[in-house]
């Protein structure tokens, strides 16, 4: 385990939607920041540097040094979900393997507990979340050698408490953002290649998704890039990260109306989650992977995670996983 000193700075200030909000840089830049997770019990922010196969953890509240943990002999880490934040127990989804991780200040132990899609060696986990019952929904894609993505090679799975894998969606290109409404009756999902954000009816007990319909198509709405990470606020509105599109969008999932847009100091936005005190802060992860030297000079903080404060709205806490190890 290694440590890196972090200096948080206020990046810029905006006025929008009758609220003044601040965008603050809270981590140093990495190549491709993804999969943030806020642990309110410890005030820790977890995230991954995907193609460096590295897990990061920082206490944002008191600005302690950042800890990072490289995972050897892997091409990528898609995301991490805590089993218990206070006991520092996590699930790590790397390539197409799932690991149980104990990560404390004086001890690190990693154990492989599951492998999926063994017949597809180029596939890897990309994005995932735990549902309200602690089952993990995990999406895959087919990664090419140039880090591009092959069409229709991915799937979406639900992994239950006993590590039984249930197939939910197939023929996906980039299985990406997913989230549930607070009543657990709707499921929202992104296959980035379609540029759609889709809605499904959701039955919590069975974990079933039916009746797909499109909430919004990013291209039709006039935005560049593709939809990537996805989250929801207490009012039931969606928050969408645009990879290659500069913006985070707040969207009404019933009408498809864009309520507001937040331009970030990076082109490639990867994910959005709620955290901080009372879940009033929107943490936004970004990437510098596809930027050339000239672009990096214009976006020196790309690859950082930013905190957007003062939005005047609260979000939902992410669920931890419940797995029998």
Is position 228 annotated in a ligand binding site? Answer: yes
Q: For residue 306, what pLDDT band results from cuts at 50, 70 and 90? A: very high
Instruction: Look at phi and psi of residue 236 and say left if phi exceeds 0, alpha if psi is from -120 to 50, else beta.
Output: left
Q: What angle do CA 211, 216, 220 make, to 5 degrees?
A: 135
- Give the whole-angstrom CA distance, residue 314 versus residue 45: 17
Q: Is the pLDDT of residue 11 over 70?
A: no
Q: Do residues 106 and 292 lie in contact, with contact meaning Cβ atoms separated by under 8 Å?
A: no
- What pLDDT, on the 0 to 100 scale, is given for residue 5? 42
Q: Within 10 A of 234 (CB to CB), how many other CB atoms are there?
A: 12
Taking only Cα atoms into account, the Rg of the chain, rounded to an integer number of angstroms, comes to 18
Average pLDDT rounded to a whole number, residues 150-169: 97
For residue 77, what are the β-bridge partners? 94
Give me the active site residues, please. Answer: 228
Q: Is 62 buried (19+), middle (13-18) or exposed (0-12) by CB count in 10 A?
A: exposed
DSSP-assigned states of every residue in 44-56: EEEEEEGGGTEEE
| 126 annotated ligand-binding residue | yes
Which band of pLDDT confidence, cut at 50, 70 and 90, is reported for residue 146?
confident
The per-residue b/e assignment along 153-175, b for 16 or more CB within 10 angstroms, e otherwise, is bbbbbbbbeeeebeebbeebbbb
Residue 22 CA to its chain's centroid (Å):
21
- CA angle, corner 224, sides to 153 and 300, nearest 5? 100
Q: Enumerate the β-bridge partners of residue 92.
A: 80, 99
Tens digits of residue pLDDT in 90-101: 999 999 999 999
pLDDT over 50 (residue 9): no
Look at phi and psi of residue 36 and say left if phi exceeds 0, alpha if psi is from -120 to 50, else beta: beta
pLDDT of residue 4: 42
Residue 277 is assigned to a ligand binding site: no
**Residue 104 pLDDT more than 80?**
yes
**Portion of the chain with pLDDT greater than 90, in percent:** 88
| pLDDT over 90 at 205, yes or no | yes
Take residue 139 and report the two structure tokens written for it: 């999406």
Lowest mean pLDDT among 10-24, 148-162, 217-231, 270-284: 10-24
70-74, 105-109, 197-201 — most confident range: 197-201
Question: 211-227, pLDDT tens digit by residue?
Answer: 999 999 999 999 999 99
Q: With cut-offs at 50, 70 and 90, classify the pLDDT of residue 24.
A: very high
pLDDT band at 18 (very low <50, low <70, confident <90, very high): low
State residue 19's pLDDT score: 63
The yes-or-no verdict on residue 2 having pLDDT over 50 is: no
CA atoms of 214 and 196, how far apart (whole Å): 6
Q: Quick check: helix, strand or coil at residue 17?
A: coil
At 8 the pLDDT is: 42
Q: Name the band, by pLDDT with cuts 50, 70 and 90, for residue 147.
A: confident
């Amino acid at each position: 385990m290694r440590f890196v000193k972090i200096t948080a700075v206020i990046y810029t200030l905006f006025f929008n939607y009758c609220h003044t909000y601040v965008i603050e840089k809270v981590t140093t830049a990495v190549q491709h920041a993804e999969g943030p997770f806020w642990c309110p019990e410890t005030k820790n922010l977890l995230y991954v540097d995907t193609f460096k196969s590295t897990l990061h953890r920082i206490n944002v509240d008191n600005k302690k040094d950042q800890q990072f943990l490289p995972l050897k002999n892997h091409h990528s880490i898609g995301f991490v979900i805590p089993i218990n934040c206070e006991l520092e127990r996590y699930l790590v989804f790397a390539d197409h393997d799932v690991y149980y991780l104990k990560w404390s200040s004086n001890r690190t132990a990693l154990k492989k507990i599951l492998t999926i899609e063994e017949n597809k060696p180029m596939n890897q986990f990309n994005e995932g979340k735990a549902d309200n019952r602690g089952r993990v929904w995990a999406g895959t894609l087919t990664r090419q050698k140039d880090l591009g993505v092959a069409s229709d090679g991915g799937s979406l799975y639900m992994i239950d408490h006993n590590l039984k894998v249930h197939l939910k969606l197939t023929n996906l290109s980039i299985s990406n953002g997913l989230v549930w409404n607070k009543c657990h009756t709707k499921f929202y999902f992104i296959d980035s290649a379609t540029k759609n954000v889709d809605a499904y009816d959701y039955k919590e007990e069975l974990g079933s998704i039916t009746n797909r319909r499109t909430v919004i198509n990013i291209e039709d709405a006039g935005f560049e890039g593709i939809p990537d990470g996805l989250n929801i606020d207490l009012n039931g509105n969606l928050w969408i990260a645009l990879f290659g599109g500069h913006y985070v969008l707040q969207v009404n999932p019933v009408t498809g109306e864009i309520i507001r847009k937040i331009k970030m100091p990076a082109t490639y936005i990867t994910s959005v989650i709620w955290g901080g005190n009372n879940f009033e802060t929107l943490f936004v992860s970004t990437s510098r992977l596809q930027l050339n030297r000239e672009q990096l000079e214009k976006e020196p903080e790309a690859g950082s995670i930013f905190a957007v404060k003062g939005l005047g709205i609260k979000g939902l806490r992410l669920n931890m996983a419940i797995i029998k190890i």
